[in-house]
Amino acid sequence: MLQERTGPLAPYTVVDLTRVLSGPYCTMLLADLGARVIKVEQPGAGDDARAIGPFVDGSSAYFMSVNRNKESIALDLKRAEDRALFEALLDRADVLVENFRPGTMDRLGYGWDSVHARWPRLVMTSISGFGQTGPYSRQPAYDMVVQAMGGLMSVTGQPGGPPTRVGTSIGDLGAGLYAAVGTQAALLQRERDGLGQQVDVAMLDCQVALLENAIARFGADGRMPGPLGSRHPSIAPFDVFRAADGWFVIAAGSEAAFQKLCEVLELPALASDARFVSNALRCEHHVALKDALEARLAAHDCAHWRALLQEHGIPTGAYNTVAEVMQDPQVHARDMLLPVRAGDEAGTALTVAGNPVKIGAHGTRLHREPPRLDQDRASILAALDAR
């Protein structure tokens, strides 16, 4: 599928040297918002993610999930001919994104100082495990490493359980999100002063930033945050509760909501119980509170209770599996599922997550299927020759 690019970033061209997840996620977000993204891959193998399963018609579902709306050209930056082509791309680009370990781009001859001297308007976004500075900067990292080092694992899982990784690659995805934000901010700054800047995003930094509540709580009272299961550390009841046929969420985030909850559930004694008369006391006695609520909730199924709570304006939600999420009418109404195919329209469709950013009439747009390795060489070279 090939459509004319639209969206707020349509005027911009991004040269994408990234691979696996954090960088490709960043550049996919930019591509979804309209930027032209030219993915530069290693000849023969391409992005490492192309070899990670599962596979659909021989193509990696992992790769396909984060590389839509991009073009692909294979270049070996150690060969003079390919370096010349790469530099011709930079002549016309607005952004260069890379996620190598710090020092790699310098060894290739494309470190920030060299790039900025030759292409002063170019924004260079560098995503790495630990950033361009600091004692860990040259160390390798993966999602698992920064989830552990950044403290996120220490507040994930059930109390008393073993260290638990968040169920999605938040180390990579968080870095990709922050990198996309930083890239757009640097482009806005360039509109003012005409100069590109280096955007330096570290996966570890992003994990620390995402610990907002845990860090603030530790700073406030000195108590070490730990895993709490599904409940909120400072609001109750704010948790997943068991009904007759399964689990669902109740999030009574205010005193008024708790009083209304007790009324709707026909539990007037709960509202006046000395253990539960304030949010602080409810948090202190959260186990007893959950037991009392679940004793009542056992009388009916989840659908009954969710409908009743929704009717009275009490925040609630289903506990969905991935399969149930993919059937949810709200998810479909927001275009949050997108069918893609490997390289063209002939293959089997793979459903992937869409882009949650809606700007005016612009939502998720599939301009191009995830590219085959080097798929766009001819058209990219023809465009360079035309200039």
Give the pair of three-digit tokens for residue 51.
């070899």
All CATH 3.40.50.10540 domain ranges in the chain, comma separated:
13-210+328-386
DSSP H or E run through 83: helix 80-92
Spatial separation of the C-alpha atoms in residues 257 and 50, rounded to whole Å: 49
Q: Strands 70-74 and 95-98, how do they pair?
A: unpaired
pTM score over 0.85: yes
Per-residue model confidence (pLDDT) at position 347: 81
Residues 6+ apart with CB under 8 A from 92: 13, 384, 387
Give the pair of three-digit tokens for residue 11.
């005027």
Give the pair of three-digit tokens for residue 231.
């409940």
Per-residue model confidence (pLDDT) at position 308: 98
Per-residue model confidence (pLDDT) at position 1: 42
Mean pLDDT by 10 residues, the chain (387 residues): 73 97 98 96 97 94 96 97 98 98 97 98 98 96 97 96 96 98 98 98 98 92 94 96 98 96 97 96 97 98 98 97 97 94 82 93 78 96 83
Q: Looking at the domain 238-320, which fold is it?
A: formyl-coa transferase, domain 3 (3.30.1540)
**What residues are labeled active site?**
232
2 phi/psi in degrees, rounded to 5: -135, 120
Q: 158: burial class by Cβ within 10 Å (0-12, 13-18, 19+)?
A: exposed
Spatial separation of the C-alpha atoms in residues 14 and 195, rounded to whole Å: 16
Residue 228's nearest CA partner among 285, 290, 158, 147 is 158
CATH number of 13-210+328-386: 3.40.50.10540, 3.40.50.620, 3.40.50.1970, 3.30.70.270? 3.40.50.10540
DSSP secondary structure string for all residues of 285-305 = THHHHHHHHHHHHTTS-HHHH
Spatial separation of the C-alpha atoms in residues 328 and 323, rounded to whole Å: 9
All CATH 3.30.1540.10 domain ranges in the chain, comma separated:
238-320
